Every structure is written in structure tokens, then in C-alpha cells.
Chains A and B, each alone.
Chain A
């Protein structure tokens, strides 16, 4: 790195970098949205159906838990390829940014759902019991007790998931998903254009830092003390 020619930075195609940044943000934003939409209910379902919980369904829990584990144990690159036919069916294409979003969501949902389940387990059982003693039904308990009481933990879980998604998007280049990570691999790694790699890594770092600080400050703002 010592003999790196810093003038190379001037030759960088900033338009391409800009497009790649936009692609990453699009993949991140859209897949995060769907991850929360699908992962939150799945996490709640895992929590309430677990043995000894509010609506214990040990068999359902075992099946869901197994599926979540299977999806979490698959390397994301494999998931990208395996899901291609399904993606094509769902969004009409299995490549590009749109094609990447489906595997991103499928990869992140089980991760997020498991985090949600763990966050919900931290809710004081006494508080749940108190609401049952007041005649609360399950939907009441979910929407008026579990989710509000664990809001800081849920935001924390979403932040961790978003950061993991940034990592996943880097691999989406395999199916032509584009984005900063793809740029770093194609130019920086495969074509030895170290300057591109540095710029993309700095941008990704800034993105991750930004996500984490935004998440932390939200958590701070909604803590209950």
C-alpha cells in the first residue's frame, strides 16, 4: 500500500460509484422493509408458539424453528443461486437489483425473526401475567404489551439485521445485483484497481457506521427511563 499512487483516485468513475451506491441503498432499503414486514410476525409467532409460552404449539414451533435454522445455515451465495427460479416466479426476473432483493429478504427474515424471538423473551413475564389478569386477549398482549415493551430491543435487532444485509448485498454481484460490494469485487479484486476498492470500502464503512449510530440513537430515544 505504501507505493499506492493517490492520483489514481482522480481517475475514478464517480458516476459508476454513485450508481453502485444507489443500488446498494435500494437493495438495502427495500429488502429491509420486507424483512421487517415478514420477520416481525414470524418472530412473534416463534415466541408465542414456543413450549411453555402464551400459545404453546410445540410441533409448529419445532417446524418453524427448523426452517429458520436451515435458512440461516445456508451460505448466502448458495441461497442466491438456489432461489433463482423462485425469484423469477415472484418478481419476473432473477437478476439485477430486483432479482437480488428476494434472496436478500429470504436470507434476512429468519435471522431477524430469531432476534425478535429473543428480544420478546426478555419481556418481563410478570407484566404479561398482569395483562392476562386484566383480561387481555392474545392480540392485546402482542400489540399493547410485547411489542411496545420491547421496542428498544426490536430497533436494536433491526439495526443488526440492516448491517448484516449490507454484507449480503456485496455478494449480490454473483447474480448481477450490482452495488458497492460488487464494484469492490469486480474492479478492486478482479482487476486490481485498488483505488476503487478503497473508495467502496470507505463508503460501505460509512454506511454501516451510519446505520449503527442511527439505530443506537433511536434506541436511546425510546428507552423507558
Chain B
């Protein structure tokens, strides 16, 4: 369990004090993938650097598995950091070292392993990220995706209990992004490793994360399970971030209500009902005829979900009775 308690961080900018983080608190369960999303300047980068104290908060505490690392002295902190992996947007590999030597670097820092043990561990890590064949290459000879795989192997070298990803896929093309996200999901499953990532891309959150916090102007404006936040975004920033990736319907709802005279219902399917012909079934039973206005069918991590907006053209029952009928089929229905 990672606990961030009331951390604040201010920067001096042109004689004025600007809050990068304003009383932020988070609770991150062991083994989960926790996403922090926000626009640039929201404070994500500062927040993730507070988790290994590359940035020191002005106030507040950061506890990793019950240890308050803000109380650690420099030496203890350096020791602790060896077991916190970090992956960067621009990879930050050592140009002067080969792939294998880059992965070996954190092992050299930690000490305690013989040369042969280090080599064995490096081979193991390169196999994990699928780079055995590129062992002796320099970073400059690798593609972006391969560089990030080296970055991930390096971050895992000392058996970390926490992996921090700082916009790890933001510099990669969409296909490579998918491959890296799949690798991270795989590592999370295989090693049970807690992953905290920051991103500005809702797709990364949808594909990878269990929980999410939305950051805006240094404050957490919304947090919860990804599914809940996606299906019922509360804050305007969350809604607009979802809308930009084509996953929000907030804006559309307004447009449809103006144009469509019939009552409009919003149906939300999560998990099993997504795979059942619920609309067809209810349509027959309740004489419901609908006009589909917009809809999404997708997956959040491994859970299928759907959300439909429909105009009620005809119905044997009163529209207000529909939520109860849909609820029996495991589908949430709201009359808008």
C-alpha cells in the first residue's frame, strides 16, 4: 500500500509562489496499476517524482508499505530507491553503454552481486522484455519501443516493489504504445508489481489501469476505479479528457436532447450483460422501440462495457418504469 498524505509543493516563479501540488492525497493498493491523468502543467510530473522523492514536497508524507520515506535521510533514501523502478518518457538510457550494460547499471549501483550473477540477471531481464538479440547494441541503434524495453528491464533489475512510469509511452507511435502497455500489464500480472503511471492519454488509462486519479491545477479532482470514472465522470476536466479521446458522451447528450423530441434513455452495460441481447429482450417484453442515437462498445482493461443513448419511440410501459426493467437484466438505465 502506498499512501500519499496531503502533499503540497510550491515553486517560486517570477517572485510569486505557484502551487504545483495542492494538498494531494492518494491511496494506492499493492499490486494495482494506478494511473494519474491530467493536462500538461497539472502537476503529474511533480506528483510522480514525489513518490521516490526526486522532488521533495514542501509538506505532507509519502509512505511505502508503512515506511514514511519523507523521514528517511539521504543514504536511506538512496537505498530505498534501488527498489523503486522508474521508466521515463525519453528513456534516459546511458549512450555510452550497451543494452546489457544499461540493464546492469542499477545492479552495479546496488552492489552485492558478483559479475557472473549480474550477467545472469541481465540475461533474465532482457528475456523478459524480449531483447535478448540486441544485448550488445548501443541505445542509438534501437527503435523507440526497444529503448523503452531497455528502460523497463533496467527499472526491474533490483526486484522493485513499485514501478513508476513517467509518460512511458508518450514518445512512441500507437502500435509501439500498445506493445509497451501490454508488456507493463504482463509484468504487473507476472510479478504482482504495483505500477503508478502518469499520462495525458485516456487510452493508456483505459487499457492498463485499475484505478485513476484526475489531476487539475495541482489538485486531485476525481479518483476511483477506472470503470466508475469512465462510465460516470463527475468532474468537467474528466469529461473533457474523455470527450477528446472519443470516449465521453457528455457533450453529445446535450445536443441530442435539443434535437430529439422523444424521451432519451442512457443504458450502461458492464461485463456480462454487454454480451447479451438485452435491448432486444426488453424491447419484446415491454413493447419498447428505440432509436439509437449514439453508443460506445469497448473494453476497460479486461472488462467489456457499453453505453448507449436511445430515443424512446414507443413503449407499452411508462418510461419511468424502464430503469427497473433494465436493472433486472443487469443494465443501468437512466432517463435523461
Query: A and B from one assembly?
Result: yes
Q: List residues of A whose CB falls within 8 A of some B CB.
A: 124, 126-127, 129-137, 140, 144-145, 148-149, 151, 224-225
The answer to whether B138 touches A224, judged by C-beta atoms less than 8 angstroms apart, is: yes
Please determine whether A133 and B52 come into contact, CB atoms closer than 8 angstroms. Answer: yes
Say yes or no for B92: interface residue by CB 8 A criterion.
yes
Q: Are B82 and A134 in contact (CB under 8 A)?
A: yes
Q: Which residues of A contact B68 (CB under 8 A)?
A: none
Chain B nearest CB from A153 CB (Å) reads 11
A136 partner residues in chain B, CB cutoff 8 A: 78, 109
Contacting A at CB under 8 A, from B85-133, are: 86, 88, 90, 92-97, 105-106, 108-110
Instruction: Tell me if B92 and A140 are in contact (CB < 8 A).
Output: no
Q: How many Cβ-Cβ contacts under 8 Å join chain A to chain B?
A: 66
B84 on interface, CB distance cutoff 8 Å: yes
A145 & B54 in contact (Cβ 8 Å cutoff) = no
A127 to B139, CA, bound (A): 13
16 more CB-based (< 8 A) A-B contacts, given A126-B90, A133-B54:
A124-B92, A127-B95, A130-B86, A130-B93, A131-B109, A132-B54, A134-B82, A134-B86, A134-B105, A134-B154, A137-B78, A144-B105, A144-B108, A144-B109, A224-B138, A225-B141
How many chain-B residues does the 8 Å CB contact rule pick out? 30
Q: Are A130 and B88 in contact (CB under 8 A)?
A: yes
A109 to B330, CA, bound (A): 78
Q: Which of the residues A140, A149, A224 comes within 8 Å of B109, measured between beta carbons? A: A140
Query: Which residues of B have CB within 8 Å of A145?
Result: 94
- Would A149 and B81 count as touching, CB distance under 8 A? no
A-B pairs, top 9 by smallest CB distance, nearest first, are A130-B92, A135-B81, A135-B82, A225-B140, A224-B95, A133-B86, A126-B92, A148-B96, A135-B78
The answer on a CB contact under 8 Å between B95 and A149 is: yes
B79 close to A (CB within 8 Å)? yes
Instruction: Give the complex CA separation of A137 and B79 in angstroms.
Output: 10
Check B88–A135 contact: CB distance below 8 A.
no
Counting chain A CB atoms within 10 Å of each CB, the highest count among B88, B96, B140 belongs to: B96
B257 lies within 8 A of chain A by Cβ: no
| B12 shortest CB reach to chain A, Å | 13
Q: How far is the CA of A136 from the CA of B154 in the complex (A)?
A: 14
Task: Say yes or no: is B235 at the interface (Cβ < 8 Å to chain A).
Answer: no
Judging by beta carbons under 8 Å apart, are B90 and A149 in contact? no
Which of B79, B92, B138, B140 has the most A CB atoms < 10 Å from its CB? B92
Nearest A residue to B151 via CB reads: A130
Among A130, A136, A137, A151: residue with most chain B CB under 10 A? A130
